[in-house]
């Protein structure tokens, strides 16, 4: 079940504060996970440890992920599996 748990935040935030989200499928939509606005807890912790602050995605990361968004594929897969298990329509 831990595999299907998503922890992160979207940036930039419409409000001037940090808001971490803990999400578990089924999802009503996938907008929250759109790259480059979603920052996973892994990226946040890594950047804080290495740089002392969270870095924005650079241009090459954005171009690479527009065509190969692994996170979105994983989210959709988790969502479908959870819907099947829960028999959620």
Q: Token match 């999400």: residue?
A: 23
Q: Where are the domains of the chain?
A: 2-86
Local confidence band at 87 (pLDDT 50, 70, 90 cut-offs):
confident
Instruction: Check pLDDT > 90 for residue 45.
Output: yes
Residues 6+ apart with CB under 8 A from 80: none
* CA 38 from centroid of its chain's CA atoms: 5
Instruction: Check pLDDT > 80 for residue 20.
Output: yes
Instruction: Check pLDDT > 80 for residue 37.
Output: yes
pLDDT tens-digit map of 49-72: 999 988 888 888 888 777 777 888
Q: Tell me if the pTM is above 0.85.
A: no
């Amino acid at each position: 079940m831990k595999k299907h748990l998503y922890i992160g935040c979207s940036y930039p935030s419409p409000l001037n504060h940090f808001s971490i989200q803990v999400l578990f499928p089924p999802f009503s939509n996938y907008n929250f996970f759109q790259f480059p606005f979603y920052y996973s807890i892994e990226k946040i912790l890594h950047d804080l440890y290495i740089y002392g602050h969270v870095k924005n995605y650079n241009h090459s990361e954005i171009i690479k992920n527009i065509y190969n968004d692994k996170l979105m594929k994983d989210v959709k897969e988790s969502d479908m599996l959870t819907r099947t298990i829960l028999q959620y329509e």
